[in-house]
Structure 1
Amino acid sequence: MRIKFLSVILSFLLMSIAISSCLDSDDNYEYSSDATIRAFGIDTIGKGIYYKFTIDQLKREIYNVDSLPVGSDTIIDKILIDTLSVTGWVTSGLNDTLFNTSDSVDLREPIKLKVHAADGVTVREYTIKVNVHKQDPDSLIWREMAALPASPVSGKQKSVILKGELFVYTSSTTAYRSSLSTPASLQWSLINVELPEGAKLNSIVSFNDQLFITTTSGEAFYSDNGISWTQMDMQGMQMVTFLGGIPEDKIIGNKNILTGIFTKEGANYFCAKDTEEATWRKGEEVIPAGFPLEDIYSTVFTNASGIKQTVIVGNTETTVEETVPWFTMGGPTTMDGLTWTGMSTPTDFSCPAMKNPSIMYYGGLFYMMGGDFNIIRTSRVGIEWNEAATKFRYPTEIKVTPGEKEDDKDTIEYISLFKDKGDYSLAIDTKHYIWIVWNSDGSVWRGRQNKLGFK
């Protein structure tokens, strides 16, 4: 009995020692070594816009992917950091003073913040950089480039892009070529071309890394290099002009389709073919009245259904009251190039009739140039047309007329440098540069909307 009683007492003693030991360990805290910024944000910009910031934990950099608008320097020179999530505390400056988020900071230049972990040992330094656009993203900027060595002798010329080069055809035997690998400068070289007899320069189209041209006698030719040309088998068709191409579209199963117009017994019809095949498909219905037949310009856009459509404008044989873009149409599974519809607008928002119109789908909108080159027209879907925004205009000179009275405001006019300059040709390269070459003097201009050049 005594032995059992002693064992019980010993057990109680051991438990007491264990409990006492556990109680003593409450004073041994383990502090966190976490010294990371988990969330960061600044006060809203402009009309309550909140910009998201990315935190690169490996490089310890914090930055905004979407740059702030031009002119934001005058806002971020004194702005609050309204979100700063850390476990420990933050210091800044040469003296590592405690950072207070209730004080405004100057973020025009990168700043550094040090995050101190709760353990008092671990420290991480972050660089905060606020990106601001140096250029207005919506502005169309023009620059005059090196002119052609000689003006077009025929009074007509055609500009096209082929495999990263700008070709300007000035006659049936000559053309000028420059690489676009360095678009800031042009180095023109004269080349002797082998255009077929009666070739219509204004009919040249570029599609799928080839050029296509028609002649006054109804023949058609193609070129892989822009210099030598090979006659196409038109299967008895007399070609009027090429319209452009419908690019491959996996959604509806289309391959690259070349489209054009041929004439038969005095009437014009559509024709089209897959560029990998030899057989042409012929339209059965006469093309609609008012459809453009010369100086064709085409562009491609993706519609709301995700299907690619080709849109063209050009000069017509009949007098028109508006410039109408024509769209390729098709069924749910094909776009055959034989069906086109005109987007005529019976409202005040139609595009006025203009000579030598060109169209482009550019930066998410349609734009129409041409006529007297005073106003650029724009449309969201190619139906209602309006004057383009003031930032999207031809190169201009500004004319200021002082007010007649002391309190009158000055009158400011923007006069297009292209106004009434005459015939031209236009091409757009893969870097979104718009190239315009003028017939009258061979001058060359390059334009691009700033945002289409941003990385």
Structure 2
Amino acid sequence: MRIKFLSVILSFLLMSIAISSCLDSDENYEYSSDATIRAFGIDTITKGVYYKFTIDQLKREIYNVDSLPMGADSIIKRILINTLTVTGWVTSGLNDTVFNMNDSVDLREPIKLKVHAADGITTREYTIKVNVHKQDPDSLIWREMPSLPASPASGKQKTVVLNENLLVYTSTTTAYRTSISNPASIQWGNLITISGLPSDAELTSIINFDNQLYTTVGGKAFYSDNGINWKEMDTQGMYMVTFLAGIPANDVTGSKSTLTGIFAKDGKKFFCAKSIEETTWRRGEEEVSTDFPLREIYSTVSTNKSGIKQTVLVGNTDATIEATQTWFAKDELNWVNLSGEILCPITKNPSIMYYGNLFYIMGGEFNTIYSSSAGLDWGEAATKFRYPTEIKVTSGEKEDDEKTIEYISLFKDKGDYSLAIDANHYIWIVWNQDGSVWRGRLNKLGFKQQ
């Protein structure tokens, strides 16, 4: 019992010494000098939509990479900053008043916030800037550019993009050329003399593949690396009818860039293909369908959710068809007709593009642009995605009748054309009738990534 009693007394003595030591301590505590903003965010702009903000600690700037939609100024005029993570406190304004997150702020112009570290000495000032689109991202904007010095000769011309040049072939011996490195300002020079192309070459069959141009005439094939000087290429005895499209390389499937076409044998037509690494043409065994396009072919490339690139084309055919047909490259030697429940109406001289994550078809009388999400079912494109128009307002017969507003396409009935799209997503259209040149682009495809 005495031993247990002594151990209890010893324990109390040790605790007393420890408590006394703590009470007598004069140790100084150091407060954090961290004056950085660790996280920042604002309230929702539209229903449930939050925009992510980037914090540049070196420049002490906070901004949103993805700009807010056009018209958001009315929302950010009075909005809450709902996320502001610091270790100390924040002040704002000329008098450095303590920032209250329960008060709304006006973010239409940049504001400054000063972060005070817990040590009461260290401070860092941040500039908050909210980016807002000044243009409607979903609008297709057109601009008339300088016309060709002279209208193309009789027959159809062809417009192609080669590197940073826009080439317009007006005949098999002449072409106009302009640099599009600065799309806002183009200058057409004098006619360029083309060499090496037979006089009966089909200009409308010219395609661009791997930074070279290709075309066919009389069963022969020709190519050019600058668009001016053309040479005959070896088709290994095949009677080449037309080239179709260049199928780009695909990292997912491991396939290489491939040039595709159609050749004729014993009165029948077959598909053929040759990649950039192959020395011989591969020849398909399945006969080309009679309704497959052979003239004025336009192709485009889309990328599906799996990252696989898909080539789709349209063109003119000699067969009688009830709708504009789109054809998908199942592989280099097999093309499949994409037929959904809602077909694209008959469009003379159709052109196709995969543009802004949708397929579009232009052509015909140039009244309507048709769109499709997958190239199967088609409908009229959104109102904002239209040809350049003039607005015609007609008053009602009676004073109380509403006015009728009609949008008339400036391209209506302009006739034959050719179209090309450059690396900056500009759509270039050149018209045979008067040599006029137009340039269009979907606004959101021109927004700079910050």
- How many angstroms apart in 2 are the aligned matches of 1:31 and 1:258? 68
Distance 1:82 1:143, change over 3 A: same
- How many angstroms apart in 2 are the aligned matches of 1:386 and 1:14? 88
Distance 1:98 1:212, change over 3 A: same
Q: CA deviation at 1:28?
A: 4.3
Among 355, 366, 387, the residue aligned to 1:362: 355
Query: Who is 1:326 aligned against?
Result: 327
- How many angstroms apart in 1 are the aligned matches of 2:305 and 2:105? 45
Query: Who is 2:336 aligned against?
Result: 341
Query: Who is 2:297 aligned against?
Result: 296
1:133-163 Cα offsets, whole Å, 9 max, x none, are 1111111111111111111012310001112
Task: Compare 430-439 and 26-35 and name the one that shifted more.
Answer: 26-35
1:14-163 matched pairs, under 5 angstroms: 20=20, 22-25=22-25, 28-163=28-163
Amino acid at match of 1:343: L
- How many angstroms apart in 2 are the aligned matches of 1:89 and 1:303? 48
Q: CA deviation at 1:306?
A: 2.7
Q: CA deviation at 1:449?
A: 0.8
Distance 1:305 1:30, change over 3 A: closer
Secondary structure of the 1:159 match is strand
Normalised TM-score (structure 2): 0.92
1:43-84 Cα offsets, whole Å, 9 max, x none, are 111223111212222222111111100011111111111222
Query: Who is 2:203 aligned against?
Result: 201
Query: Who is 2:170 aligned against?
Result: 170
Q: CA deviation at 1:416?
A: 1.0
Normalised TM-score (structure 1): 0.91
Amino acid at match of 1:267: K
- How many angstroms apart in 1 are the aligned matches of 2:255 and 2:377? 29
Task: Compare 243-252 and 121-130 and name the one that shifted more.
Answer: 243-252
- How many angstroms apart in 2 are the aligned matches of 1:130 and 1:25? 50
CA contact (8 A) 1:258 1:273 kept: yes
Query: Who is 1:222 aligned against?
Result: 223
1:402 equivalent in alignment to 2:404: no
Among 378, 384, 387, the residue aligned to 1:391: 384
Distance 1:80 1:375, change over 3 A: same
1:194-234 Cα offsets, whole Å, 9 max, x none, are 1223111111111101111111x221111111111111122
- How many angstroms apart in 2 are the aligned matches of 1:404 and 1:50? 49
Secondary structure of the 1:25 match is coil
Amino acid at match of 2:188: W
Identify unmatched segments of 5+ residues in structure 1. 1-12, 330-334
Among 209, 212, 218, the residue aligned to 1:210: 212
Amino acid at match of 2:30: E
Task: Compare 428-437 and 255-264 and name the one that shifted more.
Answer: 255-264
Q: CA deviation at 1:313?
A: 0.3
Identify unmatched segments of 5+ residues in structure 2. 1-12
- How many angstroms apart in 1 are the aligned matches of 2:208 and 2:278? 18
- How many angstroms apart in 2 are the aligned matches of 1:443 and 1:278? 42
- How many angstroms apart in 2 are the aligned matches of 1:69 and 1:166? 33
Percent identical among aligned pairs is 73
The root-mean-square deviation of aligned C-alpha atoms, in Å, is 2.1
Amino acid at match of 1:207: F
- How many angstroms apart in 1 are the aligned matches of 2:136 and 2:397? 33
